[in-house]
Amino acid sequence: MQIKNLDEKLEFFKENGYIILEDIYSDKDCNDVVNHAHKVLGPTDDLTPLMNIHKSSETIQKFMANKRLLSFINAYFKDTALGLQTEFFFMPPNTIGFNPHQDNTYVKASSDSFISAWCALTNVNKNNGGLIIWPKTHNEEALETVDTGMTKSDNQDPNATIRKTLVPEKYVQESPNIKKGSVLLIHSWLVHASNTNNSNNNRYALLCTYLKEHTDFRSGSYAQREPFTLDDTV
């Protein structure tokens, strides 16, 4: 199962550092992931993101192994993609957004051997905590980061607010709407962030990261990344 106009989309991604692939997942696919996350979490008011939810979930593993999504990632890598990490975001109302950052600051893989897939499990927009991207910033590779002086924010990743990447002024930010079931693919060095959720509902999303086979990377004490083979028949 191939992505339509694959070569054209690959060129757009290489030039801009991101692309939105629409309708990768069905409503049922998205709802199954959300329901599973709530079961894992159990009854609690702490809606901090769930790290590496795939490690105990065949539902998430199959979700990551979507054939259409992998057709793009494998073509970009020109090699086999491995799963690396997942993070499920509940992002309830009033959750502060993630500061500008580059994923490869943490992963430290070679530039074109790591990619993030931000999967919208609800309709996402600027008002409900949608992502902010700075197209073409991936061409800068590693940019300077600074401490913000902030502490960990409620219901957010521990790294979300304590540091930020400094974005050169020549780049213009965008905040795209992303339909439920669509995927924003993010280059390893693209600067991105998220808006605060000013809506009355949770903004659900699953971050899935992929690594080119035989690539070195940093595991991380919090993320505890471990590559694994992708199989949609798990």
Return all residues near 168 (Cβ < 8 A) that are at least 6 apart.
Answer: 137, 140, 143
The C-alpha atoms of residue 174 and residue 234 are separated, in whole angstroms, by: 37
Segment (H or E) for 104: helix 104-107
pLDDT tens digits for the chain (234 residues)? Answer: 789 999 999 999 999 999 999 999 999 999 999 999 999 988 888 889 999 999 989 999 999 999 999 999 999 999 999 999 999 999 999 999 999 999 999 999 998 999 999 999 999 999 999 999 999 999 999 999 999 988 778 888 888 788 999 999 999 999 999 999 999 999 999 999 999 999 999 999 999 999 999 999 999 988 899 999 998 765
Residues 96, 229 contacting (CB under 8 angstroms): no
What would the CATH number be for the domain defined by 6-212?
2.60.120.620
Residues 115, 209 contacting (CB under 8 angstroms): yes
pLDDT score recorded for residue 202: 96
Q: Where are the domains of the chain?
A: 6-212
- Whole-prediction pTM: 0.95
Nearest to 134 by CA among 89, 178, 99, 96: 99
